[in-house]
Amino acid sequence: MASVSSQPQFRYTQPPSKVLHLRNLPWECTEEELIELGKPFGKVVNTKCNVGANRNQAFIEFADLNQAIAMISYYASSSEPAQVRGKTVYLQYSNRQEIVNNKTTADIAGNVLLITIEGQDARLVSIDVLHLVFSAFGFVHKITTFEKTAGFQALVQFSDAETATSAKNALDGRIIPRYLLSDSIAPCTLRITYSAHTDLSVKFQSHRSRDYTNPYLPVAPSAIDGNCQFNLGLDGKKLEPESNVLLASIENMQYAVTLDVLHMVFSAFGPIQKIAMFDKNGALQALIQYPDIQTAIVAKEALEGHCIYDGGFCKLHLSYSRHTDLSIKLNNDRSRDYTVANPALVNPQPPVLGQQPIQTMGQAGHQYNGTQYPAPGMGQSMMPPQPSAGWGASDVPAMPQSMPLQMTNHNPYAPPASMSQMSHGMMQMPGQSGIPSPASTMPHFRPNHM
């Protein structure tokens, strides 16, 4: 009972070390918090956080072995467990005697972030979605994407390391908000480190790379047509069971497409029960519900690839939605239930911020399971330094609605400042004022028109 020397080491027989191993830490745990935790027991000379596959482990190294013993002993007999922000932290002696800090390029702050997108459908995350996500923290200069053994990755270039750091701190380990992705895309987790790059080289605007500082950069031929898998949801990429609800993506939307326009176009094939419009991947999408699958099939076959307007404008791409019955909360300019003759619903409600029939954009922050993270840089005028909402409540919900189409139109690109000035989706496409509105331009849908 006394002899332990050659036994495997169990938790109660771990030999003391001035290094303590901590687990079950919260995501946001910082070096400072580790120091706070250890400080009552001695001098913390080194820490290492975000350790392990889940990055919820850490190490604390004390100056003296007795200090580590004091901490272990204290919590061994304390009725209160060690905690970081209310979360119980489990402590034990490390099996090493000192912390080895391998500072790599991934740890050295820089203005370019290396993003690894994890998830079954990571490759389907468009560069526009990434741009949207990262723009919440400051002007994004450039993005390149590529495929490596690590999976689908992107480099995102900010002006400076501070902006990059705020984005990294806020987004590392988070998922891309669901409302930014097609319904059928599996959750995508972002893993973020610093890149050693300082200035990315982008030759073309394409589906793989963008330079947002240079609107005159030529568009890569591959991005002009054909290669639009990202905008299309998952057409052809995945098995899509037929459905009475069609998902329509509208490409090259030089003209506004209204609910009434969609109703008119899709009504040609049968009665429409419901329509819900929303922005996704920076493009307009709509769900159109027919009473039956057969009608939807006919409509899809007839309309796929056709344009609502002459000249290749507002090209439709259709897929089958997973929905079978849309939930329309209220009738407004973006969603309508044609089956309900409820007077209360017939008159459009006043506009609601971030209104979304399918998902409530205003609550998007809840995608993050209530975990709070620091304010994006753009929020400072509205919020104190440590707001509770991140981009969930104030910033990003406005953006999907205001996102200009970037590849399919040739608007002058919004200047950097506008991104942080944007509020509540009010940014209209610049340079479009001379184009007749669809209200005065009857959409002449022609089945044979390409």
Q: How far apart are the first and last CA of the chain?
A: 84
Q: Which is nearer to DNA, 59 or 134 (CB)?
A: 59
Token readout for 1 is 């009972």
Q: Which is nearer to DNA, 35 or 51 (CB)?
A: 51
Q: Cα–Cα distance between 316 and 233 in angstroms, integer? A: 12
Query: Is 435 among the residues that bind DNA (CB under 7 A)?
Result: no
Query: Is 105 among the residues that bind DNA (CB under 7 A)?
Result: yes
DSSP conformation letters of 328-393: --S-SSSEEETT---HHHHSPPPP-TT--SSS-GGGGGGGGTT---PPPGGGGGTS-SS-S-HHHH
Query: Is 336 among the residues that bind DNA (CB under 7 A)?
Result: no
154 close to 229: Cβ distance less than 8 angstroms: no
Q: Which is nearer to DNA, 149 or 433 (CB)?
A: 149
Residues in contact with DNA, counted by CB under 7 A, come to a total of: 30
Query: Is 73 among the residues that bind DNA (CB under 7 A)?
Result: no
Q: Cα–Cα distance between 152 and 189 in angstroms, integer? A: 11
Residue of the chain from 3, 7, 148, 311 that contacts DNA (CB under 7 A): 148
Query: Is 106 among the residues that bind DNA (CB under 7 A)?
Result: yes
Q: Which is nearer to DNA, 52 or 430 (CB)?
A: 52
Query: Is 94 among the residues that bind DNA (CB under 7 A)?
Result: yes
Q: Which one of 97-105, 273-281, 297-305, 380-388 is the stretch in contact with DNA (CB under 7 A)?
A: 97-105
Query: Is 301 among the residues that bind DNA (CB under 7 A)?
Result: no
Residue of the chain from 16, 23, 31, 240 that contacts DNA (CB under 7 A): 23
Query: Is 51 among the residues that bind DNA (CB under 7 A)?
Result: yes
Q: Cα–Cα distance between 362 and 125 in angstroms, integer? A: 22
Q: Which of 136, 79, 96 is nearest to 398 (CA)?
A: 136
Residues 6+ apart with CB under 8 A from 293: 242, 243, 244
CA distances from 65 to 13, 99, 415 (A): 16, 13, 57
Token readout for 8 is 């495997």
Q: Which one of 143-151, 263-271, 359-367, 400-408 is the stretch in contact with DNA (CB under 7 A)?
A: 143-151
User: Which of 267-276 are b and which e, b meaning 16 or more Cβ less than 10 Å from the residue's Cβ?
Assistant: eebbebbbbb
CB of 69 to DNA, least distance (A): 14
Query: Is 85 among the residues that bind DNA (CB under 7 A)?
Result: no
Q: Which one of 86-94, 125-133, 175-183, 256-264 is the stretch in contact with DNA (CB under 7 A)?
A: 86-94
- What part of residues 184-223 is at the interface with DNA (CB under 7 A)? none
Q: Which one of 93-101, 243-251, 337-345, 428-436 is the stretch in contact with DNA (CB under 7 A)?
A: 93-101
Q: Which is nearer to DNA, 102 or 448 (CB)?
A: 102
Amino acid at 237: K
Query: Is 11 among the residues that bind DNA (CB under 7 A)?
Result: yes
Q: Which one of 99-107, 215-223, 266-274, 375-383 is the stretch in contact with DNA (CB under 7 A)?
A: 99-107
Query: Is 300 among the residues that bind DNA (CB under 7 A)?
Result: no
Query: Is 13 among the residues that bind DNA (CB under 7 A)?
Result: no
Q: Cα–Cα distance between 369 and 169 in angstroms, integer? A: 16
Query: Is 96 among the residues that bind DNA (CB under 7 A)?
Result: yes
Residue of the chain from 33, 34, 41, 48 that contacts DNA (CB under 7 A): 48
134 close to 140: Cβ distance less than 8 angstroms: yes
Q: Which one of 95-103, 157-165, 182-190, 410-418 is the stretch in contact with DNA (CB under 7 A)?
A: 95-103
Residue 71, SS3?
A: helix
- Angle, CA 59 vertex, CA 54 and CA 61 arms, to 5°: 175
Query: Is 444 among the residues that bind DNA (CB under 7 A)?
Result: no
The kind and range of the H/E element at 162 are: helix 161-171
CB of 438 to DNA, least distance (A): 48
Query: Is 149 among the residues that bind DNA (CB under 7 A)?
Result: yes
Residue of the chain from 21, 207, 300, 317 that contacts DNA (CB under 7 A): 21
Query: Is 54 among the residues that bind DNA (CB under 7 A)?
Result: yes
CB of 31 to DNA, least distance (A): 13
Q: Which is nearer to DNA, 11 or 444 (CB)?
A: 11
Q: Which of 74, 78, 58 is nearest to 66 (CA)?
A: 74
Q: Which is nearer to DNA, 143 or 155 (CB)?
A: 155
One-letter-per-residue 3-state SS of 167-196: HHHHHCCCECCHHHCCCCCCCCEEEEEECC
User: Which of 53-88 are b and which e, b meaning 16 or more Cβ less than 10 Å from the residue's Cβ?
Assistant: eeebbbbbbbeeeebbbbbbeebeeeeeebebeeee
Is 145 exposed, middle or buried (CB count within 10 Å of its CB: 0-12, 13-18, 19+)? buried
Query: Is 445 among the residues that bind DNA (CB under 7 A)?
Result: no
**Which residues are near DNA by CB under 7 A?**
11, 14, 19, 21, 23-24, 48, 51-52, 54, 56-57, 59, 90, 92-96, 98-102, 104-106, 148-150
